[in-house]
Chain A
Amino acid sequence: NAGVTQTPKFQVLKTGQSMTLQCAQDMNHEYMSWYRQDPGMGLRLIHYSVGAGITDQGEVPNGYNVSRSTTEDFPLRLLSAAPSQTSVYFCASQGETYNSPLHFGNGTRLTVT
Chain B
Amino acid sequence: AQTVTQSQPEMSVQEAETVTLSCTYDTSENNYYLFWYKQPPSRQMILVIRQEAYKQQNATENRFSVNFQKAAKSFSLKISDSQLGDTAMYFCALTGANSKLTFGKGITLSVRP
B interface: dominant SS:
strand
Q: Are B95 and A98 in contact (CB under 8 A)?
A: yes
Tell me if A104 is interfacial: C-beta within 8 Å of chain B: yes
Asked whether B44 lies within 8 Å of A106 as measured between CB atoms, the reply is yes
Q: How many contacting A-B pairs (Cβ < 8 A)?
A: 46
Residues from chain B with a CB closer than 8 A to the CB of A112 are none
Nearest A-chain residue to B4, judged by Cβ: A42
A53 within 8 A of B: no
Place the interface of chain B in its size category: 20 to 34
Query: Does residue A102 face the partner (Cβ distance < 8 Å to B)?
Result: yes
**Are A48 and B100 in contact (CB-based, < 8 A)?**
yes
Cα A107 to Cα B40 in complex, Å, equals 13
Residues of chain B at the chain A interface (Cβ within 8 Å): 4, 6, 9, 33, 35, 42-45, 47, 50, 52, 91, 95-97, 100-101, 103-106
Q: List, sorted by A's number, 19 A–B pairs whose CB atoms are closer than 8 Å.
A: A33-B100, A35-B103, A40-B9, A42-B104, A42-B105, A42-B106, A43-B103, A48-B100, A90-B45, A98-B33, A99-B33, A99-B50, A99-B95, A101-B50, A102-B45, A102-B47, A104-B44, A106-B44, A107-B44
